[in-house]
A = this chain, B = another copy of it.
Amino acid sequence: METVKAYGASSATSDLEMMHIDRRDLTGNDVQIDILYCGVCHSDIHTARSEWGPASYPVVPGHEIVGKVIATGPGVTAFKEGDLVGVGCMVDSCRECSACREGLEQYCENGAVMTYGGKDKHLGGHTFGGYSQNIVVDEAFVVRVPENLDIARVAPLLCAGITTWSPLRHWNVKKGDKVGVIGLGGLGHMGIKLAHALGAYVVMITRSMDKAEDAKALGADEVLLSTDEKAMQKHANSFDFLMNTIPVGHDLNPYISLMKRDTTMAIVGAIEPLKSVHGGMLVSKRKNIAGSMIGGIEETQEMLDFCGEHNILPDVEMIDIQNINEAWERVVRADVKYRFVIDMKSLQ
C-alpha cells in the first residue's frame, strides 16, 4: 500500500483540499499509473456535493485520467512501464454478465465499479479518482493513448469523448447523415467534432446565438437556434440522429419535431425527469427517445484510436490543481471552453 497526495472534498459543502489517500499494492493484473493530466467533469461536482444522492466522503473525483505506466503486476500482458495510457469512468466490473461479455461494462448487470465513489474490493471503502498523484487499475480497464496526440488535451476523451462516441456508433451514424447536437458544453463540443469526423452533416442546436461561431469552428456545418420557430419548422422531420447533451431536465418536444421517421434522439446529458414528452409526436413517425451512458472499454479504445487517426482533441483550458475550486465554480456557470484539464505536475 502506498500513500499518495490527492485533492478531495471532506463534505458536501467543503472546498476541495489536499489530502492523502492509499493506493493498493499491485495484484497480478494491475498497472500503476503516474497521473499526468486529469479532466474536470461536471459529474465530479455533482458527486462531491452530494447532488446525485449522498456521497461517501472524502470524495476524490476525476475520471478523465491520462498518465504513464510506472509499474505492472506479474500477470499484466497488455502494458509495460512507460506506456501512455488512460482510465475513464470505470475501474472494474463483474466481467461475467451479458453486458460485460458484450463489451458493455458500463451497463454491467452487477454494477460497474466507478473510478471514484465505487466500492473498492481491494482496500475496502470506496474508490478514489484521478485528482491524485497516481492510481492502480486492473489492465482490463486501462486503454492505450495514441502517441501522436497532444497528451495535455487527451484526458476529456475518457469521459466526454466516449459518452458522445458510443451513441454515434450504436445508432450507426455515417457519412452524409444529418446529425443534430443539442447543447454546446463539454459533451456537445466533442459530439460535434466526432460526428463531423464520421462524415455527418452536423447541426449545432442551441438557444444562444453567441455559440454559433464557436460551433462552426468546432466543425458544425450549420447552427440552429431552438428559439427561432421558423428555423425549427424548416428543419422539421429532417434529422437522422439527435444527440441531446443538455445536462438538466427540459422540454423534449421541440427537438422531437426535428426528427425523421424511425430515428432516435439519444439523451446523454440529463439524468433527471424530462418534463413532458408528447406521445403523439413519437407515434406519428415512429420516433425513438433513448438514453446512452459513457461506453465500454473496447469502444473507448476504438474512440481513442479514431481520435489518433483523425487528430481529434477536445478544446481545453489547463489549470493547476490549486485552482480547482475556482475552476469548479466556472464549470457550474458553464464558463469554460470546453473542458478544464488539471496539469497534475502541480500536485507533486
Copy total for this chain: 2
Known: A286-B290, A293-B286. Contact between A277 and B279, CB under 8 A?
no
**Taking CB as reference atom, which chain B residue is nearest A246?**
B279
User: Which of A63-71, A208-216, A264-272 is found at the contact surface with chain B?
Assistant: A264-272
Contact of A278 (CB < 8 Å), options: B273, B279, B290, B292: B273
> What are the residues of chain B within 8 A of A268 when measuring CB–CB?
283
Contact indicator B284/A274 (Cβ below 8 Å): no
Q: With the chains together, A293 CA to B285 CA distance in Å?
A: 8
Known: A107-B261, A288-B264. Contact between A277 and B283, CB under 8 A?
no
Q: How many Å from the CB of A75 to the closest CB on chain B? A: 30
Is A124 an interface position by the 8 A CB rule? no
Is A249 an interface position by the 8 A CB rule? yes
> What are the residues of chain B within 8 A of A285 when measuring CB–CB?
107, 291
Q: How many Å from the CB of A170 to the closest CB on chain B? A: 7
Contact indicator A274/B267 (Cβ below 8 Å): no
Q: How many Å from the CB of A41 to the closest CB on chain B? A: 15
Contact of A279 (CB < 8 Å), options: B104, B280, B287, B291: B291
**Taking CB as reference atom, which chain B residue is nearest A99?**
B261
**Taking CB as reference atom, which chain B residue is nearest A163?**
B283
Contact indicator B288/A282 (Cβ below 8 Å): no
Is A172 an interface position by the 8 A CB rule? no
Contact indicator A279/B284 (Cβ below 8 Å): no
> What are the residues of chain B within 8 A of A289 when measuring CB–CB?
277, 282, 288-290
Q: With the chains together, A178 CA to B125 CA distance in Å?
A: 38
> What are the residues of chain B within 8 A of A121 when measuring CB–CB?
none
Contact indicator B291/A284 (Cβ below 8 Å): yes
Is A232 an interface position by the 8 A CB rule? no
Residues 128-154 of A, flagged 1 when their CB comes within 8 A of B and 0 if not, give: 000000000000000000000000000
> What are the residues of chain B within 8 A of A274 when measuring CB–CB?
276-279
Contact indicator B276/A270 (Cβ below 8 Å): no
Contact indicator A286/B107 (Cβ below 8 Å): yes
Q: How many Å from the CB of A80 to the closest CB on chain B? A: 35
Query: A248-270: which have CB < 8 Å to B?
Result: 249, 252, 261, 264, 267-270
Contact indicator B283/A292 (Cβ below 8 Å): yes
Contact indicator B271/A273 (Cβ below 8 Å): no
Known: A277-B274, A279-B267. Contact between A293 and B287, CB under 8 A?
no
Contact of A286 (CB < 8 Å), options: B249, B271, B292: B292
Residues 304-333 of A, flagged 1 when their CB comes within 8 A of B and 0 if not, give: 000000000000000000000000000000
Is A76 an interface position by the 8 A CB rule? no
Contact indicator B283/A271 (Cβ below 8 Å): yes
Is A234 an interface position by the 8 A CB rule? no
> What are the residues of chain B within 8 A of A107 when measuring CB–CB?
261, 284-286
> What are the residues of chain B within 8 A of A273 when measuring CB–CB?
276-279
> What are the residues of chain B within 8 A of A281 when measuring CB–CB?
291
11 inter-chain pairs at a CB distance below 8 angstroms, sorted by A residue, are: A107-B285, A252-B277, A267-B279, A270-B279, A271-B279, A273-B277, A274-B279, A280-B291, A284-B293, A286-B291, A287-B291
A-side interface residues toward B, CB under 8 Å? 99, 104, 107, 109, 170, 237, 249, 252, 261, 264, 267-293
